[in-house]
Chain A
Amino acid sequence: MVIAKKNFKSRLIVGTGKYKNMEECAKAIEISGADIVTVAVRRVNILDKKKPLLMDYIDPKKITYLPNTAGCFNSKDALRTLRLAREMGGWKLVKLEVLGDKKNLFPEMIETLKSTEILTKEGFQVMVYCNDDPLMAKRLENSGASAIMPLAAPIGSGLGILNKTNIKIIRNQTKLPLIIDAGLGQASDATIAMELGCDGVLVNTAIARAKNPFTMALAFKNAVVAGRHSYLSGRIKKILMGSRSSPKKGII
């Protein structure tokens, strides 16, 4: 998968939140085969210096950190967060996520669009979390987004892809990397996303909160590969009636 001219071997991006501990997170990422992980920017705990650091468990030299603005509800906060992320070590490839509603966590698209324009001008490569609206996806593309990341369903809901038609329309209109972000619940949801022609999927809760995050990480890894092969292979046409698989000739 190529994003902002950089080649990534896996089409599965995983989040690093919601795991029981850092060890579990690091192991699940390793099993998933992901080479991009999303990370959040938060205050250092100045009182508890022994708290483990993410960088001690996941090496940013081996795995691409994708700083995310999760938790930001306006453009100002999102820009501040990503500028700090860039300061930390030169991160230019970032995930923009500006939320609009604390309950459903849907993206606030006006603020998202505004932020995309500013960040692009500042030299960021912006992967944009958005709703599954083809018109808004087009506007993001025109604003210089590096990847379009529509939700499948509300963040953490596990509902799977709710609007396949819109995802297909977005696929057909854009050459940008199209990555399903948020709302997947099980491995087959990732396969469906890939079969719709998406370039990748981003998964956090479905792996981190599975009863067994390790086997679920493996399941998602395989599901993404299966979906991609299925998409590239060209599926058969759907027909209403049966079509026999064995020849009539020679029936005894």
Chain B
Amino acid sequence: MKKIKKIKIRINGKIKTVKENLNLLNIIKNFKIPLKKVAIELNQEIVDKKKLNKIKLKTNDKIEIVHFIGGG
């Protein structure tokens, strides 16, 4: 069986090692993040949430997942 390569990405400032063949939707789902309540950036560009499954990740990609919290 072919061994799947792993890559290092940064999610919300934390380095994570993930399988290379995953797309952004897989990653978000792995973290059980409610898609409707967040916004996502890939390398400082806002990502269309409908197209997450089409985005393949590469080493050193920076993902930011944000939501609303209490604030003044």
Interface residues of A (CB under 8 A from B): 15-19, 22, 25, 38-47, 49, 53-55, 65, 67-68, 70, 80, 83-85, 87-89, 155-156, 182, 202, 204-205
Contacts and interface: CB of A to CB of B under 8 A. Distances in A.
Contacts of B68: 39-42, 54-55, 65, 67, 85, 88
B55 interface: no
Contact residues on B (Cβ < 8 Å of other chain), bracket = 20 to 34
Interface of B: 11-14, 31-34, 36-41, 44, 46, 49, 64-72
Contacts, number: 98
A155 B13 CA distance: 28
A62 to B, nearest CB: 15
**Is the contact region of chain A dominated by helix, strand, or loop, or is it mixed?**
mixed
Nearest to B33: A44
Contacts of A54: 67-70
B64 to A, nearest CB: 7
10 contacts: A15-B70, A40-B72, A42-B66, A43-B64, A44-B66, A54-B68, A68-B71, A80-B44, A87-B39, A88-B68
Between A18, A39, A156, the greatest number of chain B beta carbons within 10 A of the residue's beta carbon is seen for A39
Nearest to B34: A53
A138 B14 CA distance: 44
B67 A44 contact: yes
Contacts of B39: 41, 84-85, 87-88
Nearest to B70: A16
